[in-house]
Amino acid sequence: MKNIYSYLLLLFLLLACSNSFGQKAKDTPIAFEDDLELEWRDSEDTAYLVAKNKIYAPLEVILTIKKKRSESFLVPAKGETILISQPKVIVGKRSGTIQLDYQIGYHMGHPDVIDIDEDYLYALPFEKGQSYMIGQTWGGRATHYTPDSYYAVDFQLATGEPVHAAREGQVVKVIDWFTKEGGAELSAAANEVVVIHEDGTIASYVHLKYKGAVVEAGEMVERGQLLGYSGSTGYSTGPHLHFVVRRDDNKSIPIYFEGFEGKVLQKGEFYSH
Ligand SMILES: [Zn+2]
């Protein structure tokens, strides 16, 4: 009997460990619930819809009720915010809640917790002493033309080459379980390390190789610290590092690198530090 209990305890511990490290099976699609969980809670006379933020960055949650009234909420990093609170309807001795026709959207960052430091000069996001060519720069016609990627820069790192933090911050999340390279159908299937900076801006280091991250969500990272290894996962036609910094509304912002102040890195040119 005792053996069975210790076996069950061991099994439980193993399951608990595998969950706490956020390990996912290869190529598991990204889910809404990885970032945000919604939960109805009750008190005696009130029902609450609570948004639980699972990541280390604030989220702006937009609630639209009956397709017209939209409201914005700040859900702090790893915190909770009540989106809806409404009285329960009492019918005789039974109670229930009114079902609302609502939609919820969200993105990382929130206007109340961002104050962009436009003078910050970023470090090139690769190993010191190395030199890499730019494959695509601001407004690149291949994929850098939407607001979320307009100011992204592609560095032509080969698979397995080290990616380093361009700025200090906290790791928001790590996605490292994707294995495939392909077209636009894989745009939500790239490995990446996401880092939030002191001013509320958020950097993404994208297309890392499978299991290619060496940092964990929640960890503080220094400028220049090794984050992981480059690859070609997701919407990608060959190994490179897609580096982008975004503001609270998910739009990419122009940033400059130390040694190249005020200069846009040029496609086809090599850069080193
Ligand atoms: Zn790119």
Residue type, position 25, single letter: A
Fold assignment, 27-113: Immunoglobulin-like (2.60.40)
Distance 77 CA to ligand 1 centre (A): 27
Q: How far apart are CA 138 and CA 175, in angstroms?
A: 25
Mean pLDDT, rounded, for 10-33: 69
Name residue 170's beta-bridge partners. 196, 220
Query: What's the pTM value of the predicted model, to 2 decimals?
Result: 0.88
Of 31-40, 65-74, 76-85, 132-141, the least confident: 65-74
- Residue 254: which pLDDT band, with cuts at 50, 70 and 90? very high
Q: How far apart are CA 228 and CA 76, in angstroms?
A: 27
Distance 168 CA to ligand 1 centre (A): 22
Helices and strands (DSSP H and E) totals, the chain: 2, 22
What's the confidence (pLDDT) of residue 55?
97
Distance 61 CA to ligand 1 centre (A): 27
**What percent of the chain has a predicted confidence (pLDDT) above 70?**
88
CA distances from 189 to 134, 224, 235 (A): 23, 26, 7
For residue 9, the SS3 value is helix
pLDDT tens per residue, range 204-216: 999 999 999 999 9
Distance 136 CA to ligand 1 centre (A): 6
Q: What architecture (CATH level 2) is domain 121-272?
A: Distorted Sandwich (2.70)
Domain with CATH 2.60.40 in the chain: 27-113
pLDDT tens per residue, range 146-193: 999 999 999 999 999 999 999 999 999 999 999 999 999 999 999 999
**The residue to which tokens 């801006």 are assigned:** 201
Distance 82 CA to ligand 1 centre (A): 37
Distance 55 CA to ligand 1 centre (A): 24
CB-based contact 121:263 (threshold 8 Å): no
- Residue 1: which pLDDT band, with cuts at 50, 70 and 90? very low
pLDDT tens per residue, range 37-79: 999 998 888 989 999 999 999 999 999 988 777 999 999 999 9
Distance 210 CA to ligand 1 centre (A): 18
Residue type, position 178, single letter: F
Domain with CATH 2.70.70.10 in the chain: 121-272
Distance 151 CA to ligand 1 centre (A): 9
Q: How far apart are CA 91 and CA 104, in angstroms?
A: 29
Q: Please, what sign has the CA dihedral across residues 173, 176, 178, 182? A: positive
Residue-averaged pLDDT of the chain: 91
Distance 141 CA to ligand 1 centre (A): 10
